[in-house]
Amino acid sequence: MCRAARPLHATCDTIQVAMLPVPPLACSQAWTAGAQRAFLRAACMAHALQADAVEPVHLLWALVWDEGHAGTRLAGLGLNPDSLQRQLGLPLLPATIDESPPPSLPWADAALSAAVAALSMAFEQQPHSEASTDHLLWSLCQPPLPTAELLRQCGLEASAWKVGQAGIAAEDTAPVPLPPDQTLRLREPATANPSDMYRLLDAAANRAREGLRVLEDYVRFVWNDQHLARLCKECRHDLASILAELPTMALLSARNTLDDVGTRVATAAEYQRSHPFDVLIAASKRTGEALRSLEEFGKVLNSQLGQRCEQLRYRLYTLEKAILRTGYNRERLAEQRLYLLLTEELCPRGAGPVLHAALEAGVRMVQIREKRMADRELVERCRWARRVTRQAEALLIINDRPDIAVVVEADGVHVGQSEFTIADARKIVGPDRLVGVSTHTLEQARQAVLEGADYLGVGPTFQSQTKHFNELAGVEFVRQVAAEITLPWFAIGGITVENVGQARSAGAERVAVSAAICAAEDPALAVSELLAQL
């Protein structure tokens, strides 16, 4: 009769003998490596012989192959795979047996009993110790197992010997079985060599520092992005604070670059970077991996060290997103200088003539901004604008309506501080469409970069015909953003041909304009004059 596998009944450090999992290998911490190999070989043999279950004879056959005490003892008795096969009447085995984990087989009651007896013997001799192949061999000598008679004929009887740490020795009495409700404590895992741990942590720390420095150097010296450079620097300093908890001399003493096998292993891809963007991606991934290694192995020394590395790793993920999206959108919007906000009621001659004239004069980014239009009418207006802008190879953005942006296949959506969040808009429009956001303070602009905005509206710069503001962010806000942020941004709010120079002097390289073009006598001329100053 075969017994189905039982679930492991255990706390974090105990196992009920009466609920031993099947196969015994599932409880790996209770067995030596040799015993675990024996269980695996027994299961492989049973599978190769197409047996219905793993039996004691399969365990004995596995022990014959053992190179430890049990195998040596059996070899001394003249038992080898061939002789055992003949004496037990086993079918002829295949020439080779696959020792990869076989499909799940049930374990016969007799095989289970042998495993339980081996565990009981190990615990009786020394609590918290592992059961070995010696203990398994002793258990297979127990009547009425079918292996007991064969082993008795070979000179092994359970009543005549015991299993000790040094192997098999004479014994006057058989051991007392462990009560079924007795629990076994798993042996505490061996502590890693401190020098090895410090060597690993030192290598991970170096990779993390180097990766952060690569990111910081690029955003600082190539982009002149003060905001992202400051965030990189803060991460570096926080990493240094974490690493200060580790003994510096222990890390240096454990370092062994000359014998590091990794220095002699390389792939062709490591030396190929076709674009600076590839460098940024590689550096951010390397830093994240290093922080994860510091986090996991740091827990071995200090749980707080692991927690602090985890928090820093999460910050890196946000920083990585901000850096990579900034790089992507700097290229995507590199040619955009003038952004037309098209509103029907601001166009005395109609939005159609204004849009055509603006596109012919050089506008390549248009936003449909209609606050009072009914949804169906708005959808039709946006579809018309999509056809026109697509012919001109211009970008089309929909104000405040990510759903309509998707319906009309626009290039993106623009949201304000009181409408959709960037994250919610992104859920609707997907990863590829642009999500722009209006900002009115420096803190809002910084936060929008971290949240994944593709571009910013920065303002209001001047009083506007389309909106009335109780407070103006003004030219000073434009100057602040210009000093810190290189994610593409547009100065917005009341910008005209007459005052665009002030915005430009404050650092604006791009502007968003509505009435200055929509209400102009000659929209094309207005576009040309604005572009000339940008």
282 alpha-carbon distance from chain centroid? 15
Does 438 appear as a known binding residue? yes
Q: What is the 3-state secondary structure (H, E, C) of 104-145?
A: CCCEEHHHHHHHHHHHHHHHHHCCCCCECHHHHHHHHCCCCC
| Residue in 426, 427, 447 with CA at minimum distance from that of residue 438 | 447
23 with 101: CB under 8 angstroms?
A: no
Query: What proportions of the chain, in percent to the nearest 5, are helix, strand and coil?
Result: 55, 10, 35
In the structure encoding, which two tokens stand for residue 466, read together? Answer: 């389309």
- For 474: left if phi > 0, alpha if psi spans -120 to 50, otherwise beta; the answer is left
* DSSP element (H, E) containing 2: strand 2-3
Residue 55, CB half-sphere, CA atoms under 13 Å: how many?
Answer: 13
Q: How far apart (Å, rounded) are the C-alpha atoms in residues 491 and 510?
A: 6
In the structure encoding, which two tokens stand for residue 399, read together? Answer: 């104000």
Does 447 appear as a known binding residue? no
DSSP H helices in 222-245:
226-243
Kindly state the DSSP code that residue 400 receives in the 8-state scheme. S
Does 162 appear as a known binding residue? no
Does 371 appear as a known binding residue? yes
The residues with which 14 forms a beta bridge, in sequence order, are 185
The residues with which 107 forms a beta bridge, in sequence order, are 3, 54
Does 464 appear as a known binding residue? yes
Does 370 appear as a known binding residue? yes
Q: How far apart (Å, rounded) are the C-alpha atoms in residues 310 and 333?
A: 35
Does 367 appear as a known binding residue? yes
Q: How far apart (Å, rounded) are the C-alpha atoms in residues 322 and 445?
A: 12
Does 397 appear as a known binding residue? no
Does 467 appear as a known binding residue? yes
Does 509 appear as a known binding residue? no
Q: How far apart (Å, rounded) are the C-alpha atoms in residues 223 and 328?
A: 13
Does 28 appear as a known binding residue? no
| Residue in 109, 111, 123 with CA at minimum distance from that of residue 179 | 123
Does 368 appear as a known binding residue? yes
Numbered residues of the known binding site for Mg(2+): 400, 419
Numbered residues of the known binding site: 367-371, 399-400, 419, 438, 464-467, 494
